[in-house]
Amino acid sequence: MSANPNSPNRQYTLERTRNIGIAAHIDAGKTTLTERILFYTGMIHKIGEVHDGAATTDWMEQERERGITITSAAVTTEWWQRNEDGVTKLFPELKQRINIIDTPGHVDFTAEVERSLRVLDGAIVVFCGVAGVQPQTETVWRQATKYHVPRIVFVNKMDRTGANFQNVFNEVKEKLGAHAARILIPIGAEDHLIGQIDVVNQKAIFYSDSDKFGSTYEVRDLDDAQKAVAEEAYGELVNAVADVDDVLGEKILMEEAFTKADLKAAIRRATIANKLIPVAGGSAFKNKGVQYLLDAVVDYLPSPLDLPPAVGMDPDDHDRHIEVITSDNEKFVSLAFKLWADKFVGKLVFFRVYSGSIKKGDTVYNPRTRRSERVGRLIRIQSNEHKDVDVCYSGDIAAMVGIKNVTTGDTLAAEDHDVVLEPPTFPEPVISMA
Ligand code: GDP
């Protein structure tokens, strides 16, 4: 069990992979947030090119293009975390891969969301800072709870008239019954939204309109008013985490000192165990707010290794379970979760690898059709392009080309591996509280 699950050839380890969905009520800002994440993470291709003057048109141009990408089933991006002083170090070992899987935002999507939930490991749930928790999002929320999907809440549109972070935070606790704690608190609101308080680090982060990839964040000490808010929120956060995390709880009980790293590790454990919901507030329109949300994704949402492995079974005897281990050193097992007709490439089969790895040209077996087919190409949707890749590893999300007899929900596995992933179960009907 202790063997390294990572192939030495892969670019990103499993530990540095995040597969997330962004769920939201229609209009809360899911599309905008996804676009901005792609823009800010995509800046790796634009070092030194984004300046104030030309930036507006550049952005619009890029966003129009990216509009196409983000409606795709899954898009891959990469991210470097900053340290607590806001410094980004471009060390390869600090690079993270984040796959964003599209979760439909409509009411009639129950089965589809379920499928997404089986593919993603964590989610950002976006609420509008004005409208707050809406009935439709309660449905998604309950499904996410049912499937044990760890979540971070992002209260968006804090720049809009009438936005109120505290109200939405209270609704998350009261209407959704979430054990929630604030990690990023907006500074100001409406026209005066200027930044965020980083509760763990007790620092203020200021938004800026111009940025270069890899630049230092504008992190400042808190003024007196911000300090009062930050200290109260810190106390609440520590208590909320200690309530559900034994390690931190014990330390506090024994009056032992704990470090920021201890606190972050405890938040991470509690979030992954679905016992805590970290809540951040800001605006997708604001530069640094989006980056800090990505840091929270890396800090608190699980890697594929943090979750129980997928359940496999014998296709002819569903009572016979077959272990599907999250490791590159196992036989290949994947789930086809979305089919997509692409104008240029043809039929794309989006899949998630649960176990093993697959090479371009390999043959995969589909236990439903009892047929094997050859994988012509492996494609990753990255920034705004289809990128051909030679190998996909455990935890990866990508698309295959060349597979004809497949439907959403099929297991595709190594030819000599007769296994089917546990089929989705359907949730009880949810009575909305409109
Ligand atoms: P979706 O339906 O959840 O994908 O929402 P969209 O991303 O399409 O956003 C809905 C509307 O809200 C669009 O007009 C966006 O420009 C706007 N919007 C998104 N985020 C923000 C924000 O942070 N502040 C403001 N003021 N408007 C936003």
Flag whether pLDDT at 18 surpasses 70.
yes
Three-state secondary-structure class, residue 54: helix
Closest CA to 154 of 311, 297, 324, 35: 297
Residue whose CA is at the smallest distance from ligand 1 atom 17? 29
164 assigned binding-site residue: no
**CA 32 to ligand 1 center in whole angstroms:** 6
| Least confident among 107-121, 285-299, 307-321 | 107-121
Residue 210 has pLDDT above 60, yes or no: no
Read off the pLDDT of residues 224-274 as tens digits, 9 standing for 90 and up: 999 999 999 999 999 999 999 999 999 999 999 999 999 999 999 999 999
Mean pLDDT of 405-411: 91
26 is in an annotated binding site: yes
Q: Is the pLDDT of residue 89 over 90?
A: no
Average model confidence (pLDDT) across the chain: 84
Q: Considering only CA atoms, which of 86, 83, 127, 149 is closest in space to residue 281?
A: 127
**Per-residue pLDDT at 218:** 76
- Determine if ligand 1 sits within 6 Å of the CB of residue 29: yes
From the alpha carbon of 24, which atom of ligand 1 is closest?
3
The predicted pLDDT at position 342 comes to 77
pLDDT beyond 70 at 51:
no
Q: Is 158 annotated as a binding residue?
A: yes
Query: Residue 80: its pLDDT value, please?
Result: 81
- Report the pLDDT averaged over residues 159-171: 97
Distance in angstroms (rounded) separating the CA atoms of residues 394 and 330: 9
Calculate what percentage of the chain has a pLDDT beyond 70: 83
| Least trusted range by pLDDT, from 8-17, 65-74, 111-120, 287-296 | 65-74
- Is 16 within 8 Å of 96 (Cβ atoms)? yes
Are 433 and 135 spatial neighbours (Cβ–Cβ below 8 Å)?
yes
**What's the gap in Å between 98 CA and the centre of ligand 1?**
22
Instruction: Kindly report which listed range (79-93, 141-155, 350-364, 419-433) carries the lowest average pLDDT score.
Output: 419-433
Atom 16 of ligand 1, nearest CA residue: 32
Output Rg (C-alpha) for the chain, integer angstroms.
22
Q: Give Cα 74 distance to the centre of its chain.
A: 11
Any known ligand binding at 309? no
363/220: higher pLDDT? 363
Q: Has 102 been labeled as part of a binding site?
A: yes
Share of the chain above pLDDT 90, in %: 56
Average confidence (pLDDT) over 61-80 = 62
pLDDT at 243: 97
| Average confidence (pLDDT) over 330-344 | 88
Q: Is 25 annotated as a binding residue?
A: yes
pLDDT in tens, 171-187: 999 999 999 999 999 99
Confidence of residue 23 (pLDDT cuts 50, 70, 90): confident
How remote is the CA of residue 132 from the centroid of ligand 1, in Å?
14
Cβ(156) to ligand 1 under 6 A? yes
Q: Ligand 1 in contact with 16 (CB < 6 A)?
A: no
The verdict on whether residue 192 carries a ligand-binding annotation is no
Give the integer Cα–Cα distance in Å for 414 and 397: 17
Which of 34-43, 262-271, 281-290, 393-402 comes out lowest in average pLDDT? Answer: 34-43
Residue 203 assigned ligand-binding role: no
> From atom 11 of ligand 1, which residue's Cα is the shortest distance away?
27
Token look-up 């995509």 returns 42
Q: Is 123 annotated as a binding residue?
A: no
pLDDT of 277 reads 98
Per-residue pLDDT at 163 exceeds 90 = yes
Model confidence band, residue 290 (pLDDT cutoffs 50, 70, 90): confident
Q: Which residue has the tokens 């086809």?
A: 336
Shortest-distance Cα residue to atom 21 of ligand 1 = 157
According to the annotation, is 228 in a ligand binding site?
Answer: no
Index of the ligand 1 atom closest to the CA of residue 284:
23
Nearest CA residue ID for atom 10, ligand 1: 27
- CA 163 and chain centroid, separation: 25
Q: For ligand 1, is residue 103 a contact (CB within 6 Å)?
A: no
For ligand 1, atom 28, name the residue with the nearest CA.
Answer: 157
**Does residue 207 have its Cβ closer than 6 Å to ligand 1?**
no
pLDDT higher at 209 or 229: 229
Cα(161) to ligand 1 centroid in Å equals 13
Q: How confident is the model at residue 55 (pLDDT cuts 50, 70, 90)?
A: very low
Query: Above 80 in pLDDT, residue 91?
Result: no
Ligand 1 in reach of 128 Cβ (< 6 A): no
Confidence of residue 275 (pLDDT cuts 50, 70, 90): very high
Whole-number Å distance, alpha carbon 91 to ligand 1 midpoint, is: 34
Q: Are 383 and 46 in contact (CB under 8 A)?
A: no
Which atom of ligand 1 is the closest one to the Cα of 34?
A: 7
Average pLDDT score over residue span 327-353: 90
pLDDT in tens, 358-407: 999 999 999 999 999 999 999 998 766 788 999 999 999 999 999 999 99
Mutate to test the pocket of ligand 1, among 22, 25, 27 (most ligand atoms within 8 A of CB): 27
Residue 102 Cβ inside 6 Å of ligand 1? The answer reads no
User: Buried (b) or exposed (e) across 301-337, using 16+ Cβ within 10 A?
Assistant: bbbbbbbebbebbebeeeeeebebbbbbebbbbbbbb
pTM of the model: 0.89
Residue of 71, 76, 41, 1 whose CA lies nearest to 393: 76
State the ipTM, two decimals.
0.99
Q: Is 278 near ligand 1, meaning CB less than 6 Å away?
A: no
